Amino acid sequence: MIKMKAVTGAIVLSTLVAACSGGGSEKIESSEENGPAEETAPAEEAVSEEASSEQSATSEPSLGTKDGIAYASLTGDATAGKLVFAQCRTCHVTDPGVNRTGPSLNSIIGREAGTVEGYKYSQANAESGITWSEEQMYAYLENPQKTIPKTKMIFAGIPDAQKRADVIAYLKDPS
């Protein structure tokens, strides 16, 4: 029984380490000047025809979500969002000018994607044309690779709609 718990613990720990470090043999771009770069993750799936038809006139990626729950139908709770954001802290902080594996998320709502000073973004993110509205962030947090195919962010997403709304509430006012 004890050996089984130890094996299970080792598996969980190695999974977490792999998720944080990328775990694969994919190429990592890095520059000491620009800080660490993110790892390129493959797009999980192509945007469906239905999602493509929902794209905005500004050519931003679709705001449709897999679960079909509209952001406007939810009320985010910043306190709950801070708890959910704990999983993001491995790579991101909300402090201005502090980049980690991922860029600072300080004042992200209303900011153009790929513009944090001193952070080296993937070409896909830098050229996405996205301005991070609450709705755009909501769709992105569900599945980052769907929203920005070829993004370097390896995070799989937050499937729970309420938790995504809570994180957005926290990001709007992390104090």
Domain ranges of the chain: 2-172
pLDDT on residue 106: 97
Answer for the pair 153, 137: CB distance below 8 angstroms, yes or no: no
CA-nearest of 137, 157, 159 to 61 is 137
End-to-end CA distance of the chain: 44
pLDDT digits over 122-167, tens only?
999 999 999 999 999 999 999 999 999 999 999 999 999 999 999 9
Report helix, strand or coil for 139: helix
Query: The domain 2-172: what is its CATH number?
Result: 1.10.760.10
What are the residues whose beta carbons fall under 8 Å from the beta carbon of 18, sequence distance 6 or more? 24
| Residues of the chain with confidence (pLDDT) below 50 | 7-62
pLDDT on residue 144: 96
